[in-house]
Structure 1
Amino acid sequence: MKKKVVSVILCVAMIAAMVVGCTTKAPTSGGDDKKDDGEKKDSYKVGITIQSLKNDYWAGVMGKLEELLKEKGWDYTLQDCSDNAGTQVSQVENFITSGCDMIMVHPSDADALETVCQQAMDEGIKVMCWDDPMENTTANWILDNTALGNEIGKTASAFINEHYTADKPAEVCVIGKPSTKVLLERANGIKEGLEENCDKGNYKIVAEVDGLEANEAQTNVESVLQANPDCTVFVGVGAGAMIGSNEALLQKFGGAGKIPENVGVITTDVTMQQLESLQAGDEAVRAIVGFEGSSTDTAKACLEMYERILSGEDFSGDKHNVVRPVKAIDKDSVEEIIKGM
Structure 2
Amino acid sequence: MKKRIIAVLTIAVLSLSMLAGCTTKSPVKEDSGSDKKTEDTADKGDGKYKLGITIQSLENDYWAGVFGEVEKMLKEKGWEYTLVDCKDNSATQISQIENFITAGVDMIMVHPSDPSAVEDVCKEALDAGIKVMCWDDKMENTTVNWVLDNTELGKTIAGPAADFINEHYSADKKAEVCVIGYPQTPILLERENGILEGLKAAEGKYEVVAQIEGLEANDAQTNVETVLQAHPDCKVFVTIGAGSDIGANQALLTKYNNSIPEDCGIFSGDATEQQMRAIKAGNEASNTTVGFEGSNTRTAKACVEMYEKVLSGEKFEGDDHNIFRPFIVINADNVDEYLADYE
If the length of structure 1 is used for normalisation, what is the TM-score? 0.88
User: 2:305 maps to which residue?
Assistant: 304
Matched, 1:329 2:330: yes
User: 2:220 maps to which residue?
Assistant: 217
Q: Secondary structure at the match of 1:121?
A: helix
From 182, 203, 214, the counterpart of 2:206? 203
Q: 1:55 to 1:69 in 2, by over 3 A?
A: same
Q: Distance in 2 between matches of 1:310 and 1:301?
A: 14
RMSD, matched Cα? 1.1
**Per-residue CA distance 1:130-150 (angstroms, 9 max, x = gap):** 000000000000000011001
Matched, 1:105 2:119: no
User: 1:279 maps to which residue?
Assistant: 280
**Per-residue CA distance 1:139-188 (angstroms, 9 max, x = gap):** 00000001100101112111111111111111100001101111000000
Q: 1:327 to 1:33 in 2, by over 3 A?
A: closer
Could you list the runs of 4 or more consecutive aligned residues of structure 1 that deviate by over 2 angstroms after TM superposition?
none
**1:272 Cα deviation (Å)?**
1.5
Mean CA deviation greater in 101-110 or 152-161: 152-161
Q: Secondary structure at the match of 1:172?
A: strand
The structure number with the bigger radius of gyration is 1
**Per-residue CA distance 1:87-146 (angstroms, 9 max, x = gap):** 000000000000100000000000000000000000000000000000000000000001
**1:71 Cα deviation (Å)?**
0.4
**Per-residue CA distance 1:249-291 (angstroms, 9 max, x = gap):** 0000001xx1000000011012111111111000001101111
From 243, 246, 250, the counterpart of 1:247? 250
**Aligned-residue identity in percent:** 61
Aligned residues: 306
User: 1:12 maps to which residue?
Assistant: none
Q: Distance in 1 between matches of 2:56 and 2:265?
A: 28
For structure 1, the 5+ residue unaligned runs are 1-31
Q: Distance in 1 between matches of 2:239 and 2:322?
A: 25
Matched, 1:92 2:92: no
Q: Distance in 2 between matches of 1:121 and 1:326?
A: 30
If the length of structure 2 is used for normalisation, what is the TM-score? 0.88
Matched, 1:316 2:320: no
The code of the aligned residue for 1:192 comes to E
Q: 1:37 to 1:67 in 2, by over 3 A?
A: closer
The code of the aligned residue for 2:304 comes to L
Q: Distance in 2 between matches of 1:223 and 1:193?
A: 25
Q: Distance in 2 between matches of 1:210 and 1:81?
A: 20
Cα pair 2:41 2:106 within 8 Å, conserved? no
Cα pair 2:37 2:104 within 8 Å, conserved? no
From 129, 132, 151, the counterpart of 2:156? 151
Q: 1:332 to 1:107 in 2, by over 3 A?
A: same
For structure 2, the 5+ residue unaligned runs are 1-35
The code of the aligned residue for 1:318 comes to D
